[in-house]
């Protein structure tokens, strides 16, 4: 006989999915009689629970498992999540958006999610049996942990301003999404703080445009500095600037986001914004672990500040 899923067990036993899950997770708030009834039903249906007593797992939901090897941010977050869960004696269930049904099948009642797209977020929020913590995304009624993107961009702008730059641009891609919107708002706040016309063209979107076209336009406008707020575009921008004969920082100063295995070794070494990924993960797991224990958790929003790492890619202008 094929193995049955927990929905069939709940229907046969006449109980809720949550009660079946509590039994298989060895939760204390289930009577012995109820526990025996559900386990007997599972045996009758030839069902072997994937999660047994003593095992407690938290899910990590990402867009695609295929992207991990090529996405520095995703790979970094996965490494920290695995490390932190292991230290807390918790298991990890890695699930892609395309296999979201595994959350229910594997009794994952608490999960950390890193959605990239609005449709993915909506799909997550339709799951009835899993409580989520979002990383770098927000939704009503759901806890979230994110980088303080506005603070980071303001920090970068202030550093450039203190070094004499007045013609400062922001390079972005994929302007949709909470994080990119926050970065753009931080840039507008910096312009307003320093009395710069925020309506003037100072923010440049490389989505759908060639980087060379965007950079040639930036250079024609006599900008002296750029904040590259797209982590994935940094090397492409550097390559194109080199092709155009632009010297960093003599002709154009740059601030990008920290990639510890790349940023210090670029020539010149890049001044960067460092996002505290481990703090993001620690805060997210703190919340997810409480949700795993069925603790009442009022939705909260935690923002983690960036750190500026000064190096050699910013020129001081008199």
Q: Which CA distances in Å does 192 have to 161, 174, 180, 185, 227?
A: 13, 24, 19, 11, 17
Phi, psi of 120 (to 5 degrees): -65, -40
What distance in Å separates the CA atoms of residue 90 and residue 237, rounded to the nearest whole number? Answer: 41
Q: Is the peptide bond before 268 cis (omega within 30 degrees of 0)?
A: yes
Do 261 and 122 form a contact (C-beta atoms < 8 A)?
no
Q: Which CA distances in Å does 244 have to 68, 145, 211, 261, 305?
A: 32, 40, 11, 26, 35
Kindly give the pairing relationship between strand 110-114 and strand 91-96: unpaired
Residue 286 has a pLDDT of 95
Residue 18 has a pLDDT of 84
Kindly give the pairing relationship between strand 168-172 and strand 253-257: unpaired
Do 131 and 291 form a contact (C-beta atoms < 8 A)?
yes
Residue 71 has a pLDDT of 86
Local mean pLDDT, 10-residue blocks, the chain (318 residues): 68 89 78 87 74 69 90 92 94 94 80 94 90 95 96 98 97 84 95 88 85 93 95 92 97 97 96 97 95 80 98 96
| CA 268-184-213 angle, 5° bins | 60
What distance in Å separates the CA atoms of residue 126 and residue 233, rounded to the nearest whole number? Answer: 33
Residue 52 has a pLDDT of 47
List 302's β-bridge partners, or say none: 145
Residue 55 has a pLDDT of 57
SS (H, E, C) 4-60: CCHHHHHHHHCCCHHHHHHHHCCCCCCCHHHHHHHHHHHHHCCCCCCCCCCCCEEEE
Reported pTM? 0.82
Q: Which CA distances in Å does 13 have to 6, 44, 53?
A: 10, 11, 20
């Amino acid at each position: 006989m094929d193995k049955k899923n927990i929905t069939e067990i709940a229907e046969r036993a006449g109980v809720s999915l949550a009660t079946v899950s509590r039994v298989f997770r060895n939760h204390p708030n289930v009577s012995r009689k109820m526990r025996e009834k559900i386990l007997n039903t599972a045996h009758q249906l030839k069902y072997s629970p994937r999660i047994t007593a003593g095992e407690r797992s938290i899910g990590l939901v990402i867009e695609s498992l295929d992207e991990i090897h090529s996405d520095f941010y995703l790979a970094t977050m996965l490494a920290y999540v695995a490390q932190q869960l292991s230290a807390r004696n918790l298991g990890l269930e890695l699930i892609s958006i395309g296999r979201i049904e595994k959350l229910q099948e594997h009794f994952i009642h608490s999960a950390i999610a890193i959605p990239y797209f609005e449709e993915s977020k909506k799909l997550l929020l339709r799951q009835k049996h899993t409580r989520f913590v979002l990383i770098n995304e927000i939704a009503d009624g759901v806890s979230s942990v994110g980088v303080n993107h506005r603070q980071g961009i303001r920090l970068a702008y202030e550093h450039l301003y203190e070094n004499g730059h007045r013609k400062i641009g922001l390079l972005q891609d994929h302007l949709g999404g909470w994080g990119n919107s926050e970065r753009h708002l931080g840039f507008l706040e910096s312009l307003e703080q320093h009395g710069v016309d925020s309506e003037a063209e100072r923010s440049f979107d490389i989505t759908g445009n060639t980087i060379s076209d965007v950079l040639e336009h930036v250079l024609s406008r006599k900008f002296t500095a750029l904040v590259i707020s797209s982590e994935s575009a940094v090397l492409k921008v550097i390559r194109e600037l080199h092709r155009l004969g632009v010297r960093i920082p003599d002709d154009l100063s740059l601030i990008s986001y920290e990639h510890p295995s790349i940023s210090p070794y670029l020539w010149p070494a890049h001044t960067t914004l460092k996002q505290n990924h481990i703090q993001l993960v620690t805060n997210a797991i703190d919340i997810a672990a409480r949700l795993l224990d069925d603790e009442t958790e009022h939705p909260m929003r935690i923002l983690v500040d960036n750190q500026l790492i000064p190096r050699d890619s910013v020129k001081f202008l008199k």
